[in-house]
Amino acid sequence: MAEFSPSQRVRSLPDNYFANIDKRIDEFNKKGIDLIHLETGSPDQPTPYPIVRALDQASRLPGNQGYPPYGGKTNLKEAIAAFYQREYGVALDPETEVTVFAGAQVAIASLPQVLLDPGDVMITTDPAYPMYFSCAKLAKAKVYGIPVQEQDGFLPDYHTVPEDVVKQTKLLMLNYPNNPTGAVATEKFFSDTLDFAKEHRIPVVHDFAYAAFGFDGVRPLSFLQTPGAKDYGIEIYTMSKTYNMAGWRLGFAVGNRSIIRSLSRFHDIAHSDVFGAVQDAAAAALLGPQDCVRDLRALYERRRNVFISNLQAIGWNVLAPAGSFFNWLKVPKGYTSETFADTLLEQAHVAMAPGIGFGPHGDQYVRASLLEPEDRLQEAARRIIISGVLHPLASDSLND
């Protein structure tokens, strides 16, 4: 069979770091070894039944059996505007400040194509969601990752960005609650972000994927709640996490109308629109009772409390995340993120994601999700202490 070379653009893309990790994990699965999967970011709960029922009913409508309208159905865009008004007090024009995608990842991948030219710079954090680095590469743009530290709440300090980088920057990409650190943004941070954007005329994109999940009574802030933020930025939201609709592939962007307009124009050429029945089900989710969201937030908080308390009980000095469904755990002395994740996999049969995959400043951490039941999270801690990868302490000190 003939072999054809990919384009230079595809050849320049970095390898998928986590693909090799998945291959290693698959080797254990094929051997029948019981792994506790904390490396994943795919929600483990089913889509709430009322949303499934809404899809079933909408799929029977003749109007949903043809091509959906560009940019999203009117009823969904109006539902999104109503949702943002109800949840965040943010007013949106459904026609000019809202657009719909087949998953938020489509929007994230498209934004550098829409806002950056070759050689431009996108600023994000280090560590960050790996997709940010890859999608900028596709646009032949450069990425500058602002190192974020635990003592600063994993929030970037814009004063540390070199002036020559700032001059080339045409996009600022943020994500709070954060993947991988679990950090949550503050009002002051978003205010500082807007000041930075205004001073240097830089558009801001806030990836609000984990919007529903703030713990200890702290509700994650929308960037658009910052007075004047809509003048400089947009927010990307996904139905995958808030409503456990991961396989449904529906996300949306809201905010600055010039960015929404450009994003919609690119999307109309490069991507297909979302099945109309899925859009109707999403509208039902956004406008309907939010008990399922509150229950899911409470579930993740219980899991977090069980997991972190058990890890602390075995002598692992870790902090509880403020939001998302990820734990960002500092590796013990003597390890890198890769050697520690590998040791956990081999000796404890617990899979976590090495922090180096999220950027150079993640190399002293591993990411562990909360997407396993509480008893499995307890078992993970028990396996870790039994394996001896930490300084041995009494295993009977584990919390129930």
CATH code, domain with 310: 3.90.1150.10
Pairing of strands 204-207, 121-126: unpaired
Q: Where are the alpha helices (DSSP H) in the chain?
A: 8-11, 17-30, 49-59, 74-88, 104-115, 131-138, 163-168, 187-200, 239-242, 257-270, 276-287, 291-313, 337-343, 374-387
pLDDT band, residue 103 (cuts 50/70/90): confident
Whose tokens are 């970011």? That residue is 41
Report percent pLDDT > 90 for the chain.
Answer: 81
Q: Domain for residue 5, yes or no?
A: no
d(CA 130, CA 180): 10
Q: What is the mean pLDDT of residues 84-109?
A: 95
Reported as a single tens digit per residue, the pLDDT across 171-197 is 999 999 999 999 999 999 999 999 999
Q: Taking all residues of the chain, what is their mean pLDDT, rounded to a whole number?
A: 93
Same domain, 279 and 300: no
Q: Which residue has the higher pLDDT, 60 or 21?
A: 60
Note the pLDDT of residue 32: 86
**C-beta separation of 309 from 394 below 8 A:** no
Residues 292-306 have pLDDT tens digits of 999 999 999 999 999
Q: Write down which residue in 271, 287, 303 finishes a domain.
A: 287
Is residue 28 one of the residues assigned to a domain?
A: yes
Of the residues 224, 257, 287, the one at which a domain ends: 287
Rounded to an integer, the average pLDDT of 45-66 is 96
pLDDT computed for residue 394 by the predictor: 38
337 domain-assigned: yes
What letter represents residue 365's amino acid? Y
Statement to judge: residues 307 and 372 lie in one domain: yes
Among 238, 231, 239, smallest CA distance to 259 is for 231
| Within-domain flag for 95 | yes
Task: Provide the angle, in degrees to the nearest 10, between the axes of the packed helices 104-115 and 131-138.
Answer: 40
Residue 211, domain CATH: 3.40.640.10
Q: Is the pLDDT of residue 17 over 90?
A: no
Q: Band the pLDDT of 397: cuts 50, 70, 90.
A: very low
Mean pLDDT lowest among 16-20, 237-241, 250-254, 345-349? 16-20
Q: Which residues contact 261 (CB under 8 A, 6 or more apart)?
A: 96
CA–CA separation, 315 and 374 (whole Å): 19
Shared-domain flag, residues 36 and 22: yes
Q: How many domains does the chain have?
A: 2
Contact 204, 235 (CB under 8 A): no
Q: Tell me the residue type at 372.
A: E
Q: Are residues 222 and 192 in the same domain?
A: yes
User: How many CB atoms within 10 Å of residue 66?
Assistant: 8
Asked whether residue 209 falls in the same domain as residue 310, the answer is no
| pLDDT given for residue 391 in this prediction | 63
Global confidence as pTM: 0.94
- Integer-rounded Cα Rg, in Å, for the chain is 21
Q: Based on the fold, state whether residues 53 and 160 are members of the same structural domain.
A: yes
Question: What is the β-pairing status of strands 233-238 and 142-147?
Answer: unpaired
3-class secondary structure, 77: helix
Both tokens assigned to 207:
């990836």
Last residue of a domain, one of 270, 287, 304: 287
Phi first, then psi, for residue 43 (nearest 5°) are -55, 140
Q: Which domain holds residue 344?
A: 15-44+291-397
Residues 149, 181, single domain; the answer is: yes
